[in-house]
Amino acid sequence: MQQTPDTQDTKHSTEYDAVIVGGGMVGAAAAIGLGQLGLHVAVIEAREPQAYDPEQPLDVRVSAISVASEQLLSRLGAMETLLTMRHAPYDGLETWEMDGCLTSFTAAQVGQTHLGYFFENRLIQLCLWQQIRLMDNVDLLCPRKVTQFQRQSALQRINVTLEDGSQLSTRLLVGADGANSQVRQWSGIGVTGWDYAQSAMLINIHTQTEQQSVTWQQFTPAGPRSLLPLPGHHASLVWYDDANRIKQLSQLNKLQLAEQIKQHFPDRLDVNFSVESSGSFTLTRRHAQRYYQDNLVILGDAAHTINPLAGQGVNIGFKDVDVLVAQVANAIGNGETWWQAPVLKRYQQARYYDNQLMMTAMDVFYASFSNDLLPLKLLRNGALKLANIDSPIKRKVLKYALGLN
């Protein structure tokens, strides 16, 4: 894919229907979705993603993309290109704590060919950007940063001033600018949340084992240990642990880290691997107190950051995009002022409690597996064993996780 070094679009004007701050996976998806409605959209992004080259080492930041997200990416025109790049489909998900108490979910249980794909985050973003560049009514301004927002209440618009002094005026300001959202902070929308005691280390390994199609996770009192299949002889290991322990691990060289993995990952991991790259991340839970004001919405990590132990973060961000675009489309069809609170409230109503439920479910998992008390351990392993029985409830849970409900 060709990339121009500076993606400031010469066609850009100053009056927009929607200005999106943040051209990450969620912001770029929102830009295409709103652009497909015929709206005039600008995306402001601070950093240009590196162009794709199949020979590049795999990025450490990867995401499990659910079936629902795949469907959205197809509608946005990005999925076809994405599948020509590096990817790994998976059709099984297994989780356990004590040996013999394994729960497994398969695509066949819910009539699917696969449960999802693992992609590098950057490739998802690049494919969305490729689509944006094909759209005459969507301008991609990158690298650009915002210095100021100003509400023009009488005009029902918001002015956005960029670092180079240029000004954009918009009916709808969309904050898709990640966990530390400048849009959310400027709007005065508060957040509730906390930092988890655990951090996570993502480690890309080269495996002797052929391409794998099952992702697995073992719960330990220190935190889960997971394997995410990546294309070819590659996989991503996720090591959740106490923040100090992750800090120690991140100071090791590749050989030392491989030794630690061999000692602390389950036997299921084929020990014939080498470490390629790694990165560590602090884990936070944040939920904005609301998702909208007149002329303003937030979505994706700007609205919520979730414990990544079930790989749901960007998937719930994509659901936000899907719902926002559908609500705006309905409002345009009904002749409503789609940038105003009554319409944006419907987006919040459809997403807030769903996101809250997913965040809380992750916290229940996190809390109930983060201890070594024997009665609790037996209870939760009994529950995992029960959960392994194929039942309508199990299929319903799986469908929910895949975003199919």
Task: Return residues touching ligand FAD (CB under 6 A).
Answer: 21-27, 44-47, 63-64, 121, 145-146, 176-178, 182, 200, 202, 281, 300-301, 308, 311-315, 317
d(CA 175, CA 296): 8
- Extract the tokens encoding 81: 């290109």
Contact between 359 and 352 under an 8 Å Cβ cutoff? The reply is no
> Of 314 and 344, which has the nearer Cβ to ligand FAD?
314
How far is residue 397 from each of residues 286, 314, 389, measured CA to CA in Å? 24, 19, 13
Residue nearer to ligand FAD on the CB measure, 121 or 260: 121
The nearest distance, CB 250 to ligand FAD, in angstroms, is 13
Shortest distance, position 264 Cβ to ligand FAD, whole Å: 18
Q: Decide whether 298 or 331 has the Cβ nearer to ligand FAD.
A: 298
Taking the least distance from each CB to ligand FAD, the nearer of 203 and 331 is: 203
Dihedral (CA of 77, 78, 82, 88) sign: negative
For residue 225, list its beta bridge partners. 218, 239
Structural tokens at position 326: 């559908």
Q: Following DSSP, what letter does each residue of 101-149 receive, concatenated?
A: --EEEEGGGGT-S-SEEEEEHHHHHHHHHHHHHT-TTEEEE-S--EEEE
Least gap, CB of 72 to ligand FAD (angstroms): 12
Indicate the residue among 92 and 317 with the shorter CB distance to ligand FAD: 317
Q: How far is the CB of 122 from ligand FAD (least distance, A)?
A: 10
Nearer of residues 295 and 381 to ligand FAD, judged by Cβ: 295
| Beta carbon of residue 272, minimum distance to ligand FAD (angstroms, whole number) | 25
Q: Closest Cα to residue 220, out of 375, 369, 388, 383?
A: 369
Q: Least distance in Å: CB of 342 to ligand FAD?
A: 25
User: Residues 6 or more apart from 202 whose CB is under 8 A from it?
Assistant: 60, 61, 62, 236, 237, 238, 278, 279, 280, 281
How remote is the C-alpha of 101 from its chain's centroid?
29
CA distance 273 to 234: 9
DSSP string, 347-366: HHHHHHHHHHHHHHHHHHHH
Q: How far is the CB of 372 from ligand FAD (least distance, A)?
A: 24
Nearer to ligand FAD by Cβ, of 101 and 201: the residue is 201
